[in-house]
Amino acid sequence: MQYLLLIYANEAEIAKLSPDSAGTLLHEYGEFTKSIVQSGNFKAADRLRPVSTASTVRVRNGKTVTSDGPFAETREQLGGYYFIEAKDLDQAIAIAARIPGARHGSIEVRPIWPMDR
């Protein structure tokens, strides 16, 4: 069973981290990723540029409307994801809890809905 783990955090707070703390966090992410690659749960992962770089696109009456910024203003912003393979929700939750960002932000665990092809 596949899950997408969406990492939400307050960008402003992350930006305020000292270079040392930011370095530690990055190192922790590296270690965590390595561990789930080894356990075979890893499928993909990426981090995202801040919401200040986001554009939102809608098509209305055949016309493309593009606006600056994220889809919704929230206190915590989507900052990255892990795409994993897990036995069940309990395992997915246990993996999500080990993501370094879970200690200050939030991880949303979403089951993948496979497409019939």
The continuous run of DSSP H or E covering 24 comes out as helix 19-38
Shortest Å distance, C-beta 107 to other proteins: 13
Q: Which is nearer to other proteins, 30 or 111 (CB)?
A: 111
Decide: 5 and 99 in contact? Cβ < 8 Å.
Answer: yes
111 binds other proteins (CB under 8 A): yes
88 binds other proteins (CB under 8 A): yes
Distances (CA, A) of 78 to 28, 90, 99: 19, 23, 14
1 binds other proteins (CB under 8 A): yes
State the sign of the Cα–Cα–Cα–Cα dihedral 61, 64, 51, 83. Answer: positive
25 binds other proteins (CB under 8 A): no
- What residue ranges bind other proteins (CB under 8 A)? 1, 87-90, 93, 109, 111, 113
